[in-house]
Homo-oligomer: A and B are copies of this chain.
Amino acid sequence: MIIDCHGHYTTAPAPLWEWRKRQVAGQDPGPLKISDDEIRESLEKNQLRIQRERGTDLTFFSPRAGSMEHHVGDARMSEAWSRQCNDLIHRVCSLYPANFAPVCQLPQSPGVPPANCIPELERCVRELDFIGCNLNPDPSGGWWKSPPLGDRFWYPLYEKLAELEVPAMVHVSSSCNPAFHFTGAHYINADTTAFMQFITSDVFKDFPTLKFVIPHGGGAVPYHWGRYRGLAQDMGKPPLKDLLLRNVFFDTCVYHLPGIELLLKVIPAENILFASEIVGAVRGVDPETGHYYDDTRRYIDQVSWLGAAEREKIYVGNVSRVYPRFNRRRAA
């Protein structure tokens, strides 16, 4: 079995985006009307087709990251939008329980204490059986105005995540800062930034069971693993393994073989979760291989020195530790 821990509903039917347009324009957006058939069509020719073609089984599925747009409007707008998006994810996962498990968007808003996200998080987890959430470390959309993830600002939300046994994927949304291209700079920078924020924090002393997934292969972190080990050491911190690796995990959204090889060489297999982020940031075929850039399974399968036990952990085993609610959902 192969579980992909990182997929967004980038192909959601047009009425969702039209609803959002009306909301942002300050109109009454009315009820969202999408039929089950529209949902099926949006998935059958995209994510479900790709799952079949690539031989993966189930995707952890959340709303489109670039459309979370926490920077647009206020916390109330963010909450109404998050509810719509999460309800749609719930419908997807109810229609295709063998193919998708739900991960929710949080109604964050710049400057608003993230405790405001607790009601929507509880609704998704307790009522709709969601197994994870996406946490945006920069709801200002590229201006980085929030306190770092080690700040107590975030703690009420962390308490709830720990209580619910829900991991958070650290995932920014689109960038309003012209300096940062969103999928080429903002996403990768956010991954790198979050990891460094964790190094300098006490989050995992205070929340020893809390778990974060850093997507896009951990940004720059595995490539600069020596730098991060050395920086932590210069600060008198314990080795990264002891400091973070019970709590921080990396996905495999790295779109070429040498990158995946580095990731698998440097980061313990216990801390790697398979992912491809389909249908996502990079959609083309690599002329050097004749295969899709984001077909990350192909890269992993090519790494001949990776043991069978490690491969199993990456493809499915680690999920049990990181997403305990997925096990219960699957059992039910």
Contacts and interface: CB of A to CB of B under 8 A. Distances in A.
A266 interface: yes
Contacts of A144: 142-144, 177, 179-180
A234 interface: yes
As for how many copies of this chain the complex holds, the number is 2
B262 A230 contact: no
A181 B235 CA distance: 12
B224 A178 contact: no
Interface in A185-202: 185, 188-189, 192-193, 196-197, 199-200
A177 B145 CA distance: 8
A220 interface: yes
Nearest to A193: B185
A186 to B, nearest CB: 9
A179 B180 CA distance: 15
A263 to B, nearest CB: 8
Interface string A40-76: 0000000000000000000000000000000000000
A199 B222 CA distance: 23
A38 interface: no
A309 to B, nearest CB: 21
A184 B259 CA distance: 20
Contacts of A293: 226-227, 229-230
Contacts of A228: 184
A184 B217 contact: no
Interface of A: 137-138, 142-144, 146-148, 177-181, 183-185, 188-189, 192-193, 196-197, 199-200, 216-217, 219-220, 222-231, 233-234, 254-256, 258-259, 261-262, 265-266, 281-284, 286-287, 293-294
5 contacts: A137-B179, A147-B179, A185-B193, A226-B282, A230-B281
